[in-house]
């Protein structure tokens, strides 16, 4: 429910785990796939990051 609302509001910052390290990505929600449990984000340089929802520590609006 919260992820669907963030999808409409635009820019978000996501803290997530990759290879055991906490990283941050800032961008807009490109796609939210609840079946595959993935979130795709795109930054201002059009770089795309796809994350599993289980690897996300926190999401907040930018």
| b/e burial code for range 38-62 (CB count within 10 A of at least 16 → b) | ebebeeeeeeebebeeeeeeebeee
pTM beyond 0.85: the answer is no
pLDDT of residue 51: 93
Q: How far apart are CA 59 and CA 62, in angstroms?
A: 9
- Upper half-sphere CA count for residue 20 (Cβ side, 13 Å): 0
Domains of the chain: 2-61 (2.30.30.520)
Q: What is the pLDDT of residues 9-56, one digit of tens each?
A: 678 899 999 999 999 999 998 888 889 999 999 999 999 999 999 999
């Amino acid at each position: 429910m919260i992820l669907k609302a963030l999808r409409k509001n635009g820019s978000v910052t996501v803290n997530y785990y990759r290879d055991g390290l906490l990283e941050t990505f800032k961008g807009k929600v490109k796609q939210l796939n609840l079946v595959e449990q993935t979130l795709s984000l795109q930054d201002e340089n059009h770089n795309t990051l796809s994350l599993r929802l289980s690897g996300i520590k926190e999401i907040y609006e930018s």
